[in-house]
């Protein structure tokens, strides 16, 4: 049991990667605090994991008061916090001309302000347990797509926050690391591409230049990587940003029909 008796709060954990992390963490012995906006999904996952080993807190991280409320509620669940996983994020698409102040502010509120405020609120508890923070970022932080400019900016800011707080909190024995996730086949991603007009079997036909292995990453792949970073096995590493992707992001050459004889 790599996470035996640890208490871990995962934001945005009623679907997708967050839910899969909750399932894997619980299987590794952790007590998991679930979080999300949908009470029905949260309570269903809590019932699956077992009410003795999990709890659920409902709320919207766009509300500036919610991170402090979530932190207080999470501490009431099991009396301590060993790890915080900042997973919740809005991935709403918009090109530059459609990115108005209200849209931009909501993306930043959920994707960037909320993680910072949660760490701030939970810092005393994390100091007590010499705990850790794992921020879930994206490879789009390095540049991003034209229709995800605000999202990409938020994830770039998350990387800076990760490194800054790792440096700041090191003497307190609180570690802060980040994994930047590549293209992952969640239920939401599947439905998004269906909405874009792709056929139902589109995951079976992804081009090799985006998925050299022949298939996209799965939520389980991300959850398995996350286990290491929230476990004692990764201590004392802090300030690391790891790309979870099938190809290098720097110096990449697309190996399509350019083989040298």
- Torsion over CA: 152, 153, 157, 159 (sign): positive
What does the pLDDT look like over 202-238, one tens digit per residue? 999 999 888 999 999 999 999 999 999 999 999 999 9
Q: Which of 35-49, 134-148, 230-244, 245-259 has the lowest mean pLDDT?
A: 245-259
Return the active site residues: 151
Give yes or no for a contact between 87 and 136, defined as CB atoms under 8 angstroms apart. yes
Ordered by where they begin, the domains of the chain are: 7-182+217-243 (3.40.50.720)
Give yes or no for a contact between 1 and 29, defined as CB atoms under 8 angstroms apart. yes
What does the pLDDT look like over 17-30, one tens digit per residue? 999 999 999 999 99
CA distance 54 to 33: 6
- Model pLDDT, residue 70: 98
- Where helices occur in the chain by DSSP H, the ranges are 16-27, 39-49, 66-78, 101-108, 114-129, 149-169, 187-195, 219-230
Distance of CA 129 to the CA centre of its chain: 22
Structural tokens at position 58: 């409902």
What does the pLDDT look like over 58-84, one tens digit per residue? 999 999 999 999 999 999 999 999 999
159 pLDDT higher than 70: yes
Q: What is the pTM of this model?
A: 0.94
The stretch 4-14 carries a mean pLDDT of: 97
Collapse the DSSP code of 94 into the 3-class scheme (helix H, G, I; strand E, B; otherwise coil) and give the result. strand
- Model pLDDT, residue 250: 86
What does the pLDDT look like over 241-250, one tens digit per residue? 999 999 998 8
How wide is the angle at C-alpha 154 spanned by C-alphas 70 and 161, nearest 5°? 70
15 pLDDT higher than 80: yes
What does the pLDDT look like over 93-104, one tens digit per residue? 999 999 999 999
- Model pLDDT, residue 164: 98
Give yes or no for a contact between 90 and 140, defined as CB atoms under 8 angstroms apart. no
CA distance 246 to 217: 8
Residue 139: C-alpha distances to residues 144, 153, 154, 160, 161 (Å): 8, 11, 12, 14, 16
**Residue, of 200 and 259, whose pLDDT is higher:** 200
């Amino acid at each position: 049991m790599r996470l035996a008796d640890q208490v871990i709060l995962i934001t945005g954990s009623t679907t997708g990667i967050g839910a899969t992390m909750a399932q894997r963490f619980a299987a590794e012995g952790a007590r998991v605090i679930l979080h999300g906006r949908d009470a029905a999904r949260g309570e269903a996952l809590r019932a699956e994991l077992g009410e003795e080993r999990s709890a659920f807190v409902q709320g919207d991280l766009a509300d500036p008061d919610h991170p402090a409320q979530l932190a207080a509620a999470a501490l009431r669940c099991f009396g301590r916090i060993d790890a915080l996983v900042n997973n919740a994020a809005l991935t709403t698409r918009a090109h530059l001309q459609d990115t108005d102040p209200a849209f931009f502010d909501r993306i930043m509120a959920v994707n960037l302000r909320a993680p910072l405020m949660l760490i701030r609120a939970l810092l005393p508890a994390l100091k007590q347990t010499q705990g850790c923070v794992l921020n879930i970022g994206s490879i789009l932080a390095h540049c991003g797509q034209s229709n995800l400019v605000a999202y990409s900016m938020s994830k770039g800011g998350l990387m800076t926050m990760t490194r800054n707080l790792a440096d700041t909190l090191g003497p307190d024995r609180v570690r802060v690391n980040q994994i930047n996730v590549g293209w992952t086949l969640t239920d939401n991603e599947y439905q998004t591409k269906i909405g874009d007009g792709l056929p139902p079997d589109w995951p079976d036909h992804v081009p090799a230049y985006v998925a050299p292995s022949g298939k996209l990453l799965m939520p389980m792949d991300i959850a398995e990587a996350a286990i290491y970073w929230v476990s004692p096995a990764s201590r004392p590493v802090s300030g690391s940003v790891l790309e979870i992707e099938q190809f290098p992001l720097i110096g990449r050459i697309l190996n399509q029909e350019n083989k040298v004889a």
